[in-house]
Amino acid sequence: MAFLRSVAADAGPAVHGNGVHLRTPQMADFPAWVELREASRDFLVPWEPTWPADDLTRPAFRRRLRRYLQDIREDTAYPFFIFRSSDHALLGGITLSNVRRGVTQSCALGYWVGKPFARQGVMFAALRALLPFVFEQLRLHRLEAACLPSNTASIRLLEKVGFTREGYARRYLRINGMWQDHVLYAMLHDDPRPPAR
């Protein structure tokens, strides 16, 4: 697995894994992103915060990119789009957010995959590729994730990647317009990782 930094100062990190590569979103990704998000809307809405009315517009995407680059510069978040290595098709996204330094050295994990690519091992490959970036490059101690108790696919994914269930948070996040309970997971830098499959 290789980690590469783009020549452009603000391009952000890139990560390569088994059949996928991850990099910071760019304006040129807008057409593929909007097409995949629109085609996957019904599939994604139950698991995500409410989409703003202008979410799939070019100006909203441009604002999103500006925020992403600021977050990377400030070491507070690292957004990635996931692409298939063979043809560079956009498959989904992962965000490492709420990076906390000092005594905690941790961040939160969020992810989505387009409906046409769900349950094909895309997110497993992407998360496996991203773990060395989290623990070796960012030098974080802890990676946290939360998912709805009804999201059995996400629970299976997190456990397969090697996360440990740590608890249950009542009305933890506002998802699809409602405060909802979440199952809490975490992985520490020295936790054993299951072998690649």
* Residue 150, domain member (yes or no): no
Percent of the chain residues past pLDDT 70, beyond the cut = 93
Determine the Cα–Cα distance for residues 67 and 22; give it in Å rounded to an integer: 18
* Residue 176, domain member (yes or no): no
DSSP letter at 190 equals T
Structure confidence by residue, pLDDT tens digits, 106-148: 999 999 999 999 999 999 999 999 999 999 999 999 999 999 9
Q: Which of 125, 150, 130 is nearest to 140 (CA)?
A: 130
Query: Residue 164: beta bridge partners?
Result: 186
Helix or strand run (H / E) with residue 53: none
Res. 3: pLDDT tops 60? no
Higher pLDDT, 98 or 193: 98
* Residue 180, domain member (yes or no): no
In which domain, by residue range, is 51 found?
3-141
Determine the Cα–Cα distance for residues 147 and 167; give it in Å rounded to an integer: 11
* Residue 146, domain member (yes or no): no
User: How confident is the model at residue 10, as a pLDDT?
Assistant: 52
User: How confident is the model at residue 193, as a pLDDT?
Assistant: 79
* Residue 175, domain member (yes or no): no
* Residue 153, domain member (yes or no): no
The tokens describing 9, both together, are 């100062």
Structure confidence by residue, pLDDT tens digits, 28-78: 999 999 999 999 999 999 999 999 999 999 999 999 999 999 999 999 999
* Residue 82, domain member (yes or no): yes
Three-class SS state of 49: coil
Give per-residue burial for 120-159: e unless 16+ CB within 10 Å, then b.
eebbbbbbbbbbebbbeebebbbbbbbbbeebeebbebbe
**pLDDT band of 8, cuts 50, 70, 90:** very low
**pLDDT band of 192, cuts 50, 70, 90:** confident
Looking at residue 36, which CATH number applies to its domain? 3.40.630.30
Domains in the chain, number: 1
* Residue 77, domain member (yes or no): yes
